Amino acid sequence: MPEDTTLSPTGAGKTIWVIITILFAVGVAAFFAGAFGEHPAHVWQTYLINFLLWSAIAQGAVLFSAVMHMTKARWSGPLAGLSESFAAFFPLSFILFLLLFLGRSHIFPWLHEYLHGKEVWLNIPFLFWRDFFGLLILYLLGFAYLYNALQLKFDPNHSNTGIRKYIYSGWQANRREVSRIKSRMTTWGGLYILAFALVLSLIGYDLVMSMDPHWISTLFGAYHFVKEFYVGLGGLIILASLVYLRQGKTSALTESHFHDIGKLFFAFCLLWADFFYVQLVVIWYGNIPEETHYVITRSMLAPWNAVAWSVFGICFVLPFFILLNKKIKTKPVAMIIICSVIITGIWFEHLLLLGPALSHGTSSIELHLSDGLISLGFLGLMIFAISFFLRVFPEILSVRENRHLEA
């Protein structure tokens, strides 16, 4: 039997499951303590920020695999397989979305406002159901793509029980079957990419932009899904780096893989900054009071201006100069640190977008211990989902697809 290098619940893997349990328990305890305490609105704001962030990481990482397949980017190798493991977070994300609306009275400040004719679009039943079906379609398309992608990585050396038996039943190792599977992957992958752009734009409008119902930006949807792919790449790089450090020389990952995805990450760092700036310029030159008020509050007035410039520095300026260095991209430890800092920066970017609308005019930024603890709880859920997936489908860490055909 080959050496078990997955995140299994045996050996060193037991430590991971203990960490998952602690993180989740701490997060749940902090959430309930706040939700039934003195600051329920603040806790639900933190919940919304983390739902958006961790769902974005999973959705963006799976998008990487679909894009690599559609563009026939053979360089992605085991990175594409690792990115598919993030799909295990989809069911959890969907459940978290449903729970989000339990705190709707604390999350949506426009519930008791006069919306000047926008009530047709901004009402809870319609908003919930359109986002519900949007996420449902996105996740079903992701699973349809994943179902076929996993079949190309079938390894007969692993037992086929449970979900593996369902996915691999009737599998035939011949080139005609592989061709059919790749054709289906192209179909489902293309649909997932399309749904990603549309659904994530919708989520950006409904769960972020609508918090200030009198502000509108036609670029916000595009900005939102570019950001999702950006953080998805960051999450994938962290996972790939951890797998590489754990497996050592036996890993299918190489410095070339890290260099290539590092270049892609660098490109989306530039693209994110471009949308960040262009959206600002369009609003500035338009000089419409409803639009400029939103920007001025967040970029020029204390205390949010400090957050705005910190986010820009952490998510663009810092990685821009660091990632110019070729060697840095090939260093797993360095990339873990860089990507973790950027993901933290995007957390504060969500706070910047949501905070002024949800803080009800307070002159200071309120950060509580519960913010960090709830975030750790979401981290625990992500680790759980990926660990479970890697245990059930360890062959995604193989060097190439279709090893059984080459034999």
Band (pLDDT 50/70/90 cuts) for residue 403 is very low
- Kindly report, residue by residue over 293-351, the tens digit of the pLDDT: 888 888 888 889 999 999 999 999 999 999 999 899 999 999 999 999 999 999 999 99
- Kindly report, residue by residue over 265-295, the tens digit of the pLDDT: 999 999 999 988 888 888 888 888 777 888 8
At position 388, the amino acid (one-letter code) is F
Q: What are the boundaries of each domain within the chain?
A: 13-406
Can you give the pLDDT at residue 406?
Answer: 43
Across the range 171-181, mean pLDDT stands at: 78
Band (pLDDT 50/70/90 cuts) for residue 13 is low
Percent of the chain beyond pLDDT 90?
57
- From the list 88, 101, 5, the residue with the least C-alpha distance to 51 is 101
Give the residue ranges of DSSP H helices in 208-312.
Answer: 220-247, 255-286, 289-299, 304-312
Can you give the pLDDT at residue 11?
Answer: 43
Q: Is the pLDDT of residue 169 over 50?
A: yes
Can you give the pLDDT at residue 311?
Answer: 94
Query: How many CA atoms within 13 Å lie on the side-chain side of 296?
Result: 8
Cα separation, 226 vs 269, whole angstroms: 10
Q: Is the pLDDT of residue 360 over 80?
A: no
User: Cα angle at 327 between 321 and 330, to 5 degrees?
Assistant: 110
Q: Is the pLDDT of residue 8 over 50?
A: no
Band (pLDDT 50/70/90 cuts) for residue 159 is low
